[in-house]
Structure 1
Amino acid sequence: MSKGLRVFCFQLKQELVQVRVLILFMILAVFIYSYLEPVANLAQAVGEKVSPWAFPHLMNDYICQMVFMVSAVFLFSTAPFEGKAHYYIIQRSGSLSWQLGNVLYILASSFLFVGFIWILSVISLLSQTKFSGDWGIIWGTLARTNAGNQYDVPFTVFAYIVGVLSPVETTAISFLLEWACVSWMGLVVYLFNYITKKMTGILAASFFVFLDVMIYNSWTPKAYLFSPVTLAQLKAMSGNSLSYGVSLKYAVVFFTVTITVFIVICLGQGTKKVKKWGRKNE
């Protein structure tokens, strides 16, 4: 376990400071700011402050989800993260610890990735923000009127979310679902790339990124049950979607089971390598 933690720390330092990652975060920052700027303009125009609960609304916008998930795939595109020190670390720590460290890195960097989005969603509205434990007038207005169209707000604020759930509860659930979804994508990229020794993981994860849109346009809605991007959105857990079995409980079970299976497969790959190395050394 300790060796796995050391591999995790090494990967965290090595991967997250790469120029491509820093540029990715800069692009995301610009995107989030520009996406939320109309909300700030609305708040300024009506003379009301906006509460800092933009995050769950971004998570329920399909364009935002595509941008965030494509970014997540790009973040993990270098999987299985075999840099110059790879063989040295394998010899020192063993393949199982290497796999464990990479799994921890994917989970931790996914958390940081979603945390970055949440922080940016707060900072982007800071000039017009009033910290409050409720949704406030602005989000309520956007949910119940066409003010969003008048001020070119590029996303929909769903009345179901504002009317039924508290902002703290919604933000917490949205954060955890998004973390699970990003981790899911990262593990898919990692597993496919590692097993095939090619960049097939990017293709596999990209398929699931756009699966939500494909289902909406032409596929059966029952396929939403297998779309991680759909299951990361609270808006999908109301209305007609309930008749297809899409619910928060199902989403939790889906992510828990599939991520656990992915992790077991990853560690299993490490065990196979350990056995092979052991036979060579005998």
Structure 2
Amino acid sequence: MVNGKKMIRICAISTKRIFTNSRFYLAVLWVMVVFSFNIFGIRDFCVVTQARVAPWIFPLLTQESGDQMFLILGALLLFCDAPFLSPNSQWQILRAGRRGWFWGNILYILFTAFCYTLFLAVLPILICIPYVGWSEEWGKVLGTLAQTTAAARFHLKPFDYRILLYHSPQEAMLLTILSVWLNVVLIGMVNYTLNLWVRKGIGTAVSVILGLSPLLITRLLNMTLGYYLSPPLWMSLAYYKWGEYGIGVPVGYAYGVLIGLILFCIAVSWTGVKKKDLVFQEEV
């Protein structure tokens, strides 16, 4: 039986460590640079038109494969040191046991991935202040940039109008946050599992391949194949099939595969934590 308090304590220690580590702020800076091109384009549009943009910007920023790649690589910076076998882990295992230490690590991955995803969702709003105005709809700014050629004048690629057409802004926001969070958790678990079972660095290599998969599969092989084999593509609602509408995969397939892969990695990792001799290393 896992001791909940000890598990939360281990999660808290790891969380404190990542928030004082330069890798976290490098990941944040990385994402800010990637998003800034589109976000400042929206801001410039607001300045010229004197219009206010609704806060539902995030779901429209994840549709490009290049942006998806950089979001995954940012997540990799957070979890490249998995399975978190620092010298301090020895006394954590002595106090909480391997089971408690393991589930504390899983909780840490889930929580850190959520914080990273939440930051991504809030960042566009912060940068667009004071040109943000509350609206329960998509608003004129996002609607105009998605339906007209105005985006090109501000060096923006047109936003995918299907997202605005098929989803309310609140639904799009929640679904995008969920899909990005699951992708980031998957990156954490891939690093945890492969670095534990094979050797340090293998998880990083596979994570890079996952990050590049939208470009590699869709451009070198087949776009339809990419819809089914590239999890980062699922960070954009533009690549889902909703009933008779849309292109790509059904939402149930995408979320089912992501959750299934995460659970599989958790099961394989737990087997390794139970059976392997753990080698503790200095933190990266």
Report the TM-score when normalising by structure 1: 0.90
CA spacing shift, 1:30–1:214, aligned 2, 3 Å? closer
* Alignment deviations for residues 142-172 of structure 1 (CA, whole Å, 9 cap, x no partner): 111111111112x431110111211010000
**Residue in 2 that maps onto 1:45:** 48
Shift of 1:63: 2.2
The sequence identity of aligned pairs, in percent, is: 25
* Alignment deviations for residues 168-209 of structure 1 (CA, whole Å, 9 cap, x no partner): 100000000000011011110111111113210000111111
**Residue in 1 that maps onto 2:262:** 259
**Residue in 1 that maps onto 2:210:** 208
- Structure 1 segment 1-282 matched on structure 2, within 5 A: 1=2, 2=4, 3-153=6-156, 155-220=157-222, 221-238=224-241, 246-273=249-276
**1:78 and 1:109 mapped to 2: Cα distance?**
13
Gaps of 5+ in 1: 277-282
**Residue in 2 that maps onto 1:279:** none
Report if the CA contact (8 A) 1:98-1:270 is conserved: no
Q: Hey, which of these two has a bigger chunk of helix by percent?
A: 1
CA spacing shift, 1:186–1:250, aligned 2, 3 Å? same
**2:234 and 2:33 mapped to 1: Cα distance?**
26
Shift of 1:6: 2.0
SS, match of residue 127 in structure 1:
coil
Runs of 4+ in 1 over 6 A off after TM superposition: 241-245
Shift of 1:127: 1.6
CA RMSD across the alignment: 2.2
Letter in 2 for 1:140: G
CA spacing shift, 1:245–1:25, aligned 2, 3 Å? closer
SS, match of residue 146 in structure 2:
helix
**2:66 and 2:229 mapped to 1: Cα distance?**
19
Gaps of 5+ in 2: 279-284
Q: Paired residues, what number?
A: 273
- Which shows bigger deviation, 53-62 or 21-30? 21-30
**2:144 and 2:38 mapped to 1: Cα distance?**
18
CA spacing shift, 1:222–1:137, aligned 2, 3 Å? same
CA spacing shift, 1:197–1:90, aligned 2, 3 Å? farther
Letter in 2 for 1:17: T
**2:55 and 2:245 mapped to 1: Cα distance?**
29
